[in-house]
Structure 1
Amino acid sequence: MPTLEPVTSYLDHAATTPMLPEAVAAMAEEMTHTGNASSLHSSGRRARRVVEEAREQLGVALGAGPSEVVFTAGGTESDNLAVKGLYWARRAADPRRRTVVASPIEHHAVLDPVEWLHTHEQADVRWMPVDRAGRVDLDGLKELLDDCHDSVALVTVMWANNEVGTVQPIAEIAELAHRHGIPVHTDAIQAVGHLPVDFTASGVDCLSVSGHKLGGPVSSGALLARRGLDVVPGLHGGGQERGIRSGTLDVAALRAFAVATSLAVQGQEAEGERIAALRNDLVRAVWEAVPDAVLSGAVPRELAGLGPTLAPPSSVPGLSRLPGNAHFTFPGCEGDSLLYLLDARGVECSTGSACQAGVPQPSHVLLAMGVPETTARGALRFTLGHTSTASDVTALAQAIGPVVERARGAGLSSAPGVSKRKQAEEVGR
């Protein structure tokens, strides 16, 4: 096997980003204390005070009231709680409410609960249309809701896509759904800390957030649920968190989560501008090294005309794409092979697609956007974060051209029965 070089460029912040030093300090300090936040003695009351301060801090950062913050163990739990809990509550109130309207580009933390409801709870699933940038077609959604609104239990759509970075018109989607009295859930896990997110102003009814995407600890998260919203719990036990989410609260993690969220939101505008500039440099560097690499997702105006794109330049005012996201497809290459070859050169990124038993699967996001399956297999996602610097872009710029050339020359676009890691290792010998 080839000797792997030290990591010189971490470009997978959308998967997880390093904890902020302030969050690490808060968590370490809190772990020196003992106390269950549900206990009535002094240690328990102290733990409860920390939890409630974290709840208030998170609410302030995200434009929600403290009573609207339901703590969970992360984004997947928050998404499941919202999708299943809203469906069960709405169906119980009106048996006709058996339809879930979702976008086909959702993260599997939403897609899989939706499919589970279809298989096990007789839910009817209707998919809202998306365009070549992965943006919801509002006219198509309006037509869909006008057609079946009497049966709809909920609408669920992510705030910003985790693969191609496209930002959705959340307020407009919420307004369309609310015309028919339909609650809206949004997975804002990639958006919080990277885009302006205000729960109340957005008009949505439920919002999922995860700590480790914005500098907090893994296994911390929250579901923001508006006051008076009926959500059937998925866990039953001690009745914590308004009875919506039972379970002993991880006080140290929640304190660190709140600290990280507050800091990320406070610095979002300036950091977003810094990261977007780095992202644009990265995109230009990839196009210079690989002129036929195709940028997926919404195209910022400052990148218009510089290289091939899947969609036309965005006509949406303001932010149309996550500032740290650059997603490409590389013709004639397999994304997994490129990932392993880059990894051997110390550059870490992701394909954004699932890989089961060594067989690469094309991204459902790209397929929903109309990308052919063979093209979708050649995808790589580069994502920047708070520790990213120009040196990360330079490392990728130096590696991507030779890696693509090597992959194409070795025929690493298709080789049935041989894992892409094994192929890349053989090429790297």
Structure 2
Amino acid sequence: MTKPAIYLDHNAASLLLPEARAALVAALDMVGNPSSVHGHGRALRNLIDSARGQVASLAGAERKQVVFTGSATEAITQAIVGGAKAFASSAILVSAGEHAAVLKAAEATGLPVVTIGLNGDGFIDLDQLGAEIARADAAGETLLVALHWVNNETGVVQPMGRINALVGPTRHTLFIDAVQAFGKLPLDFAGSAPDMMAVSGHKIGSPAGIGALLVKAHADVVRLIPGGGQEQGRRGGTEAAGLIAAFGAAAAAYDEKYQHAGLLALIDKLETGLRAIAPDVVIFGDERIGNVSNFAVPGVKNATAMMGLDLLGLSVSSGSACSSGKVGASHVLAAMGVAPELAECALRVSLGWNSTAADVEAFIAGFESILGRHRSRQGQAA
């Protein structure tokens, strides 16, 4: 089986950066346990501490605020399940567009979960958010508010300044899923309102299996996995030094490798090409991160289109890649009020650090051929 020639699904997982590969390989040649006090253990501890500083730098965090986890999903679960317990939350607030990791973690708390709606452009309903906070204040309840910064399916960037202003001054806990924002937007965790924030390694070019939870000092009490005191007692289990080193190397290299303006120009090129071959194309979301386009051509089912593109060596998705490889209905598009028959035509193209104009041109050519076959079948049916 040949590898796909062109990879256009970076929101699911970005390609491994050479710097991350080199750091991982070098760490695999080291032996010991980072908690050991002998020379081999100290060498691994120094490697982890260096990576902690690199991740902190990209996140605008202090080194001590970075807690390494086995994935962003684990970080999210620690923040929500552990946070709800630590802060005696009465209820969890999420938006209708959250990643499944957030929704499932909120459900796992056993607490009431209040869902904040999205408007047609994919933005969180801030009026409803404010009303829920006011209601909780009046009732003497303590909320854990768990919201995403950038939507993984549509790329819509939430108005984080306004969210921070609404929740930050209150006594409620604010957790932000920053997985799709990390490395793509300027983060200032140390100087901003969120109490906790989750980031991921494989979205910025490190291997999968490593993430981090950023925590303010008062949130150091949040726990999920007890153990032998690793990560300053905040996450048990022997650290995966190689993965952590690769995560750090990716974070250090990503500012240079991820060219936001260039990818925005490529997305513009892609959407211009789509409109030229399919004037009825619908592009979802307005104020989006620069590397994503989620669109639908009415009548062209995403499962069929993805299969055809895959045969042409073009890897795209229909949205989140975290549903056991299934192509299902998008809860995000449903929350935005998109009709089901249009939502089942939605495709997501997401670009990354190695994407080129030639990749975009190949996608347009490939999708045009699929449209041609679709129109031919329509003509024969008529």
The question of a shared fold, defined as TM-score above 0.5 by the shorter chain, is answered with: yes
CA contact (8 A) 1:8 1:392 kept: no
C-alpha change, 1:175 and 1:356, in structure 2 (3 Å) is closer
Name the SS of the counterpart of 2:274 in structure 1.
Answer: helix
Distance (whole Å) between structure 2 residues aligned to residue 355 and residue 36 of structure 1: 32
1:296 to 280, 284, 293: 284
Give matches, 1:356-395, under 5 Å.
360-395=327-362
C-alpha change, 1:128 and 1:297, in structure 2 (3 Å) is same
Name the SS of the counterpart of 1:131 in structure 2.
Answer: coil
C-alpha change, 1:180 and 1:51, in structure 2 (3 Å) is same
Distance (whole Å) between structure 2 residues aligned to residue 359 and residue 219 of structure 1: 21
Deviation per CA, 1:388-427: give whole Å up to 9, x if none: 001111111111122134246557xxxxxxxxxxxxxxxx
Give matches, 1:66-81, under 5 Å.
66-81=63-78
After TM superposition, give the deviation of residue 344 of structure 1 in Å.
0.9
C-alpha change, 1:267 and 1:74, in structure 2 (3 Å) is same
Deviation per CA, 1:31-76: give whole Å up to 9, x if none: 1111211111111111111111111222122111111100001111
C-alpha change, 1:183 and 1:374, in structure 2 (3 Å) is same
Distance (whole Å) between structure 1 residues aligned to residue 375 and residue 165 of structure 2: 48
C-alpha change, 1:408 and 1:126, in structure 2 (3 Å) is farther
C-alpha change, 1:124 and 1:409, in structure 2 (3 Å) is farther
Which residue in the other structure is 1:418 paired with?
none
Which residue in the other structure is 2:300 paired with?
333
Name stretches of at least 5 consecutive residues in structure 2 with no aligned partner: none
1:62 to 54, 59, 62: 59
C-alpha change, 1:141 and 1:34, in structure 2 (3 Å) is same
Distance (whole Å) between structure 1 residues aligned to residue 64 and residue 322 of structure 2: 40
Give the structure-2-normalised TM-score.
0.93
Name the SS of the counterpart of 1:212 in structure 2.
Answer: coil
Which residue in the other structure is 1:155 paired with?
145
Which residue in the other structure is 1:200 paired with?
190
CA contact (8 A) 1:86 1:230 kept: no
C-alpha change, 1:113 and 1:355, in structure 2 (3 Å) is closer
CA contact (8 A) 2:58 2:182 kept: no
Aligned residues: 376
Which residue in the other structure is 2:9 paired with?
12
Question: Is 1:113 the counterpart of 2:110 in the alignment?
Answer: no
After TM superposition, give the deviation of residue 222 of structure 1 in Å.
0.5
Which residue in the other structure is 1:94 paired with?
none
Which residue in the other structure is 1:124 paired with?
112
After TM superposition, give the deviation of residue 275 of structure 1 in Å.
0.7
C-alpha change, 1:278 and 1:22, in structure 2 (3 Å) is same
* Superposition RMSD in Å: 2.0
After TM superposition, give the deviation of residue 116 of structure 1 in Å.
2.3
Question: Is 1:185 the counterpart of 2:175 in the alignment?
Answer: yes
C-alpha change, 1:227 and 1:408, in structure 2 (3 Å) is farther
Question: Is 1:233 the counterpart of 2:223 in the alignment?
Answer: yes
Distance (whole Å) between structure 1 residues aligned to residue 7 and residue 327 of structure 2: 22
Identity %: 36
Name stretches of at least 5 consecutive residues in structure 1 with no aligned partner: 92-96, 299-319, 412-429
C-alpha change, 1:15 and 1:353, in structure 2 (3 Å) is closer
Alignment-mate amino acid for residue 285 of structure 2: G
